[in-house]
Structure 1
Amino acid sequence: MSRNTGTTTTNAGDPTGELEVAATEVTETERRVSEYGEETVEEVADAYEQAIKLLDSYEGRATGTGDFEAYLEFQGQFADLVESLADDLPEREAFEAAEERIDKRRLSERDFERARTDLEGAADIAALLDERREARAQYREARRDVTTDLVETRERIESHENLLELGDADLQAPTENLREPIESYDEAVSTAFSTFKKDASAREVLDFVEATEEYPLVEFRQPPEALVSYVESREAGTKPIPELVEFSRYSNSKLDHYVEDPAALKRAVATNETYLERLDSHPLEVEWPPREGAELRWRADELIAVVAKFAPEDVVAKLREVRDLTRDEAEFGRLRTAARAEAELASEEREKLANGQVERELEQLRERKEQLESALEEYPERSQ
């Protein structure tokens, strides 16, 4: 019989309250184990397990007019078990009571039931280690829940602070002063890359993509090794990518007229057709709304070095214009905030900003954050 040491329904749904309850459970189960001592609890648990095992094993054979030999064997083994127990073992009298219960000439199922009832006090002690283990597991889980809530609360605080920043935006600001140069560059680099991919050899294009790995702010997905190896070592690598993809769709007999080893081309190109088709100018473009001024400036410096490898000078010049937009940090910041407000604020959010709801929610979230942090500080991680 397991003893419940606390009320787990208290503060249900509130992770800080549940952590408090879990901590109380741990403290209570640890106190009860320490009352007896861990070794003593283990001795009681071992004796109880042996007693129940004997009762379960012999109940069907030692009752009524059943197996007399089993009946004698059962009584002898149970008596030996009780005799082996230390005189000062907690609940020793429970084992003695159970032994007395079965010390009769004929046993019934009722006698076995009563013997188990006699052992309930020992069962409570035997269950303590499992209860402690469970309480500690619940404590760890409750603490994880508080940590998860804290992470989510911090994210919501950041979101609300972002909304307040956007709420201060000058919605009349001429955001086209940012949008038009960025869109002009994006369109130009998209056209230039499409031309490069269509006209240059697959070897040149993949060499270009591999070279961008040196520029961490230009995030091309690197080409598969098997594809690179093929275009670097085979004459087919001098063909443009669209032509290689078209070849890979030919039958082997037809392809045999165009390349030396049709099977090798299919292994290298057909299996990587999706990569080749998705290879586009997206990693070279400037997103809208743009990044913060300093970050955009650093990225533009890398993009200039990369784009100049394949694009005409007029495309690079457009990119320099985009970079130069960040020189006046105050004006860039004003226009960028306005652009973000235009792009990100829904009508509902604008209404919440206007009536002060965002500020009220932010205050509540900050209070919640302090509460969660305090709970984690008050109830630290446990080594066990």
Structure 2
Amino acid sequence: MSLSSRLSAHLSPRLSPRPSTPSSPRRSPRLTPRLSARLSALAASAALLVAGFAVPASADAPNTPSGGINLATNPGFEIPASSLAEWGSVPGWRCSGGPAEAALTTAAPHSGTSALGVTPAGDSSTGECVQTVSVQPNSTYTASAWVRGKYVFLGATGTDRPTAPSWTENTNGGWQRLTTRFTTGPTASTVRLYVHGWYQQGPFAVDDVQVDGALPAPATGAGSVPTSDRVVFFTVDDGWQRTPEAEKFITDHKLPITAFPLPMPAAADPGFFQRVTAAPGSSIQNHSVSHADLSTLSLAEQQVEICDARDALTRTFGTAPTVFRPPYFAWNAVTLQAAANCGFRHVLTADADFSWGASNVWHEGTLSPGDVVLLHWTDTLATDLPRALAAAEAAGLKPAGLTDYLR
């Protein structure tokens, strides 16, 4: 097929670019738990609802109709690849050819210190890179990007309405801005933003991606769930140590468990997490990519941690997580906006800790209705769980499914 006929087919009402086929990440060395002495203080402060706090714009987000916040993740390609080298070469983006085709480049970026450089491998590749952007229904958005190369495309799918991409035939060695607008339908909550080149047209570069439009309200932060029901919620973090003894206790007692695994251990042993969350009410939720202290990161960096973990868990388990737990319970107002930009309404900590032999309740008295209990996937979990269950039963409470109560 000629280039002109292939382009014509591509541009009529919206051709769907070939889907990404990322490889599964390999397991990295075990991350050592680093809960600090300030955990109790952080947990106490995390129980406050702070949805009304002002959220500062990140340094790489110019003024936009979204209240100063660019909805794209890693829009300027300034966030370096994770120290978890297996995770991928372009934070915030998934590229169809992986690191063999796409990587951050410092060669003449449009602005800042780096851009996305893509060299499609073979005649059948367009070098597509995509990300999921959270949107509001019945809303209009503007997406733009600066591109360099021949036959470069920018567009969005999943809008519930056909959207033609913006494209350029040739930027003649310089940078050119592509802009497209799309309006979401009544059921849209996310769109798939994409950039790609064209078959046999050589390398291209992308920088300064912008998505402007309706901004989601910040997520709410809490350490417990408001309910008068006599229930508590068992949550288990991380995932590097998975023991058959803990799995047997969970299975034998049909415990509803909310697992917050990191994406790498989850991808290394998905069957384990599916088995330990088999009881009704159980679920697998988001705990970030690298277990970083988010309170030390910018909005753009936090958004990469949360959105990338969301996408990884969705690929591994087929269901998108709906609750985010910040590592070390360290979060701030920026975290609430970053979580919202990734589609999360709840940033959840806990108000009791039964990890590593502990029996700490961070309020007066015993466990209370709606308490969230923190545990970890460790070699002590098989003894931590019975102790937590006994504490719940002594208070006249029973474990319940977290997502059944979070609305």
TM class by smaller structure? under 0.3
Higher helix share: 1
Q: Give the number of the structure with larger relative contact order, counting CA–CA contacts within 8 Å between residues 6 or more apart.
A: 1
Higher strand share: 2
TM-score (ref. length: structure 1): 0.24
Question: Which structure is larger by alpha-carbon Rg, 1 or 2?
Answer: 1
TM-score (ref. length: structure 2): 0.23
